[in-house]
Homo-oligomer: A and B are copies of this chain.
Amino acid sequence: MSKPIEIRNPRTGKYDYVIIPPPERLLVQQCNRLRRAQQNWFDLGLDGRIDVLLKWKDAILSNRDKLTEALVIDTGRLRESKLEIDWFLSGIDRWCRLGSKLLQDTEKGTSIPFINLQQTAVPYALVGVISPWNFPLLLSTIDTIPALLAGCAVIVKPSEITPRFMAPLMNAVSTVPKLRDILSFIEGNGKTGEILVDNVDLICFTGSIETGQQIAIAAAQRLIPAFLELAGKNPAIVLKSANIDLATSAILWGSVFNSGQSCFSIERIYVAEDILEEFYHKLVAKAYKLKLAYPTLNSGEIGPIITETQAAIINEHLLDAIEKGGIIHCGGEVEEKGGGWWCHPTVITEVNHDMKVMNEETFGPIMPIASFSTVESAIELANDSFYGLSAAVFSESRDEALKIARQIDAGAININDAGLTVMMHEAEKNAFKFSGLGSSRMGVSALTRFMRKKAFLIKTNSNYDPWWFNK
């Protein structure tokens, strides 16, 4: 038996839950079982697979309270947990609606008169998903649902930091026999993830750059695709012409949602120097009003920092900023309360790119603000980063905003908002720089990346002409 892993409760700091990673031999066996069952799943056809996914949705709906409860303990926060479940359920709906449009074979004549072309796509047999702790349900299912719809079997290893939601989720799966055959969630740690990568046909990973690189290398050795969505250090540019009320509200929520523990979080704010003072005063005033969700879940808007490691990183970034001349206007420290770690929304000015808070992912409700004098320098600052996930531009002129957005090296750029990507699933976007690798996980590609394209080239006449020697 593997060594048990004790799991910390983010509100109490107590280690009150245990998981036991599966032994390698059993995990390999499980992968083989799922892969064997996949052909039947594919043969069910799209409509059959949609039926099963909708049954899963129903099973979740009747199990919703238990799933919410588990997610709340995993993450220490309530509203985002409810939202995760909503997003998960609407994701099933959305994919079931879209799927039939995307999975049709085509047949056509070609530029060569005696050839017909038939195009189809076939799913990878077994997709592996390794997901993080910041949105345990959403990020363990965002790739899983389209992979299942495409006809793949799926094995998911969520983060060992937030494993409690798996039990109610798998309970729901177990009530749907055809789903149970081709979908497993497994408990485990980094070692479990390594074994997984070596036993699947395609791997999806959401998490850190370092682990992402390791997974990409392991996948490259086996020549299997790796789709990675990694860290961000997303900039917001606030132009002189911006609606400051809108910009401060949107940036605040784009920074503090889930206590900043989101890959799309705004982590750097560049404000036109003419409006800097007004901007940060308004931002501080709004930030100051937000309350910690402590001692009860409903005490406020800001949940705990989920991991102690992350709490330490945030404090390190804050200390480093102060050491180098940053000025803190509200918030300013991750504090221990009742065993959990809590951070009030924090605004910092007088920051520069030598500070960790401006050049490494912080993953906390921290809003460092720098000013700029010219639009060119704002773009330069926004692009001065190893990351390229998303960004935001605020201006009353849509044309001005778009012109700037086009010059920012990132896959998704919000105009006059800071978090639309979470609501909008149609937008195709790739991660730039070190923020990821592989097809978009939004839009149509999110489904088609789980399939290999296959072409049937059909000769329609029956004589053979060795054309290459008849030149």
Partner of A212, one of B79, B111, B223, B420: B223
Least CB distance from A91 to B in Å reads 13
Cβ contact within 8 Å between A223 and B453: no
A250 at the interface (CB under 8 A from B): yes
Cβ contact within 8 Å between A428 and B415: no
A217 at the interface (CB under 8 A from B): yes
**Residues in B neighbouring A423, C-beta threshold 8 A:** 112, 115
Cβ contact within 8 Å between A455 and B120: no
- Which residue in chain B gives the minimum CB-CB distance to A257? B468
Partner-binding segment picked from A30-38, A309-317, A359-367, A431-439: A431-439
Cβ contact within 8 Å between A120 and B220: no
**Residues in B neighbouring A398, C-beta threshold 8 A:** 458
Partner of A249, one of B112, B402, B464: B464
Question: 8 Å CB contacts to B: which residues of A423-471?
Answer: 423-430, 432-434, 436-438, 440, 442-443, 445, 452-459, 462-464, 466, 468-469, 471
Cβ contact within 8 Å between B217 and A414: no
Cβ contact within 8 Å between B249 and A117: no
Cβ contact within 8 Å between A411 and B246: no
A349 at the interface (CB under 8 A from B): no
Question: 8 Å CB contacts to B: which residues of A53-97?
Answer: 79-80, 82-83
**Residues in B neighbouring A243, C-beta threshold 8 A:** 462
A413 at the interface (CB under 8 A from B): yes
- Which residue in chain B gives the minimum CB-CB distance to A417? B459
**Residues in B neighbouring A217, C-beta threshold 8 A:** 217, 220-221
Cβ contact within 8 Å between A454 and B430: yes
**Residues in B neighbouring A430, C-beta threshold 8 A:** 452-454
A208 at the interface (CB under 8 A from B): no
Least CB distance from A114 to B in Å reads 9
| CA of A417 to CA of B413, assembled, Å | 48
A216 at the interface (CB under 8 A from B): yes
Most chain B C-beta atoms within 10 Å of own C-beta, residue among A115, A221, A428, A456 = A456
A12 at the interface (CB under 8 A from B): no
**Residues in B neighbouring A433, C-beta threshold 8 A:** 223
Cβ contact within 8 Å between B415 and A456: yes
Cβ contact within 8 Å between A221 and B225: no
**Residues in B neighbouring A115, C-beta threshold 8 A:** 420, 423-424
Least CB distance from A238 to B in Å reads 14
| CA of A439 to CA of B225, assembled, Å | 10
| CA of A440 to CA of B119, assembled, Å | 12
**Residues in B neighbouring A401, C-beta threshold 8 A:** 458
Contacts A217-B220, A220-B226, A257-B468 known; A424 to B117 CB distance under 8 Å?
Answer: yes
A219 at the interface (CB under 8 A from B): yes
Cβ contact within 8 Å between A468 and B426: no
A110 at the interface (CB under 8 A from B): yes
Cβ contact within 8 Å between A457 and B427: yes
**Residues in B neighbouring A250, C-beta threshold 8 A:** 464
**Residues in B neighbouring A79, C-beta threshold 8 A:** 468-469, 471
Cβ contact within 8 Å between B424 and A464: no
Cβ contact within 8 Å between A245 and B120: no
Cβ contact within 8 Å between A253 and B213: no
Q: Show 5 residue pairs from A and B whose CB-CB distance is below 8 angstroms, ordered by the A residue.
A: A119-B427, A213-B223, A216-B221, A253-B466, A428-B453
14 more CB-based (< 8 A) A-B contacts, given A246-B463, A405-B456: A79-B469, A111-B425, A119-B427, A213-B223, A216-B223, A219-B220, A223-B433, A225-B438, A406-B456, A411-B455, A412-B455, A413-B456, A420-B457, A442-B455
Could you list which residues of chain A lie within 8 angstroms of chain B, going by C-beta atoms? 79-80, 82-83, 110-112, 115, 117-120, 209, 212-213, 216-217, 219-221, 223-226, 228, 230, 243, 245-246, 249-250, 253, 257, 301, 398, 401-402, 405-406, 410-417, 420-421, 423-430, 432-434, 436-438, 440, 442-443, 445, 452-459, 462-464, 466, 468-469, 471
